């Protein structure tokens, strides 16, 4: 049986470093430009040996996506895309102290040697485009908040000229127009894709999830593999609770891990707040947590986590939001 060639890849904006295994006792480390030409060079090198190959790299957003797609489409190459936190913890467990492109690639190679291999399945172009648009809208929203704060500061003093405030107002208007245009593009993608449209309509059935929030949530959830379980969704979002106990002297409060997709957490926060005010069963769940001694922020995070579970069930069962399934009060 032919030995599989393994390669660990550390990706950066301009280039990537690949550590090859399967030919010699000592891994060979090479650098390639992070471009279409560099991706082809790597694929040709892996295919040249005529043996099956497995590549592993970290999920680093736009920097790794094109390379991941190129490897996935290449004949005879399997690819695994892992959470950067997993490889970081693995390197720490292996007592790796140095951090360079070379050592990172070698560490990822060791990771793919020892850990179970989970083949990566790429999302569709529609879902990737929707996620990119939703994240761009979120970035523009943050910029608008910053500009509004600057405008307030300018308006509170007479030292600045009126033209400065007008310039900030014009920028805010431009940001709002850009966000509106991007939301229109996102809705066009949703309307043209039956599965995205189905999920979108289920999301807006929740009191608290508006059209704007649904675009943001769907952009993050639509790219997740179909075989993920609800608990994996929660872990992916970093909303899973982490307990910390050590002996009899250390017992820290339970906190969420935050080891996951921060965009999902950000997308769920405002819908959770609105649902607490407008959805009776969500409000009852929130109040029940407060009565048990939970702090308001802890209760809000619990609502976010339970809301994510509810969305998972809605997608799987093709059923709109039912408050009694979210929480049934004994009162």
- What is the value of pTM for the model shown? 0.77
Per residue in 147-173, pLDDT (tens digit) is: 999 999 888 887 777 789 899 999 999
Q: How far is CA 33 from the centre of its chain?
A: 25
pLDDT of residue 204: 96
pLDDT, greater one: 192 or 122: 192
Could you tell me the pLDDT band of residue 252, with boundaries at 50, 70 and 90? low
Decide if domain 5-114 falls under CATH 3.40.190.10.
no
| Segment 80-135, tens digit of pLDDT | 998 887 888 888 888 887 788 899 999 999 999 999 999 988 889 999 999 999 99
And the tokens for 305?
């986590």
pLDDT of residue 226: 81
Q: Do the beta carbons of residue 51 and residue 69 sit within 8 Å? A: no
Task: Say how many CA atoms lie within 13 Å of 90 toward its Cβ.
Answer: 20
Taking the C-alpha atoms of residue 20 and residue 115, their distance in angstroms, rounded to an integer, is: 17
- Indicate if the alpha-carbon torsion angle 16, 21, 23, 25 is positive or negative: positive
Q: What angle do CA 321, 326, 327 make, to 5 degrees?
A: 140
Domain ranges of the chain: 5-114, 125-192, 196-245+252-331
Q: Which helix (H) or strand (E) holds 156?
A: none
What lies within 8 Å, CB to CB, of 69 at 6+ separation is 122
Span 286-293, mean pLDDT? Answer: 95
Quickly state the pLDDT bin for 253 (edges 50, 70, 90).
Answer: low
Share of the chain above pLDDT 70, in %: 92
Closest CA to 82 of 107, 64, 57: 57
Instruction: Tell me the pLDDT band of 273, cut-offs 50, 70 and 90.
Output: very high
């Amino acid at each position: 049986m032919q030995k599989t060639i393994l390669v660990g890849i550390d990706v950066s904006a301009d280039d990537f470093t690949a550590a090859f295994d399967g030919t010699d006792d000592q891994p060979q480390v090479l650098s390639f430009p992070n471009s279409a030409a560099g991706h082809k060079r790597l694929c040709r090198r892996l295919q040249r040996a005529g043996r099956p190959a497995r590549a592993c790299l970290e999920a680093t957003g736009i920097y790794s996506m094109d390379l991941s797609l190129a490897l996935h489409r290449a004949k005879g190459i399997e690819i695994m895309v892992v959470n950067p936190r997993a490889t970081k913890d693995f390197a720490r467990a292996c007592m790796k102290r140095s951090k360079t492109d070379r050592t990172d690639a070698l560490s990822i190679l060791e990771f793919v040697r020892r850990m179970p291999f989970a083949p990566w399945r790429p999302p569709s172009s529609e879902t990737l485009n929707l996620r990119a648009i939703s994240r761009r809208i979120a970035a523009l929203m943050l910029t608008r908040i910053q500009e509004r704060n600057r405008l307030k500061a300018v308006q509170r003093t007479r030292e600045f000229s009126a033209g400065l405030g007008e310039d900030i107002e014009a920028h805010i208007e431009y940001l709002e127009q850009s966000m509106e245009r991007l939301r229109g593009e996102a809705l066009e993608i949703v309307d043209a894709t039956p599965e995205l449209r189905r999920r979108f309509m289920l999301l807006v059935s929740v009191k608290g999830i508006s059209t704007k929030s649904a675009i943001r949530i769907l952009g993050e959830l639509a790219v997740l593999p179909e075989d993920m379980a609800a608990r994996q969704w929660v872990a992916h979002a970093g909303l899973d609770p982490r307990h910390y106990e050590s002996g009899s002297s250390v017992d820290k409060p339970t906190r969420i891990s935050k080891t996951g997709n921060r965009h999902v957490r950000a997308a769920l926060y405002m819908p959770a707040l609105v649902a607490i005010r407008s959805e009776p069963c969500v409000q009852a769940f929130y109040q029940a947590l407060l009565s048990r001694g939970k702090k308001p922020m802890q209760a809000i995070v619990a609502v976010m986590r339970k809301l994510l579970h509810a969305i998972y069930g809605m997608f799987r069962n093709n059923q709109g939001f039912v408050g009694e399934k979210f929480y049934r009060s004994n009162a």
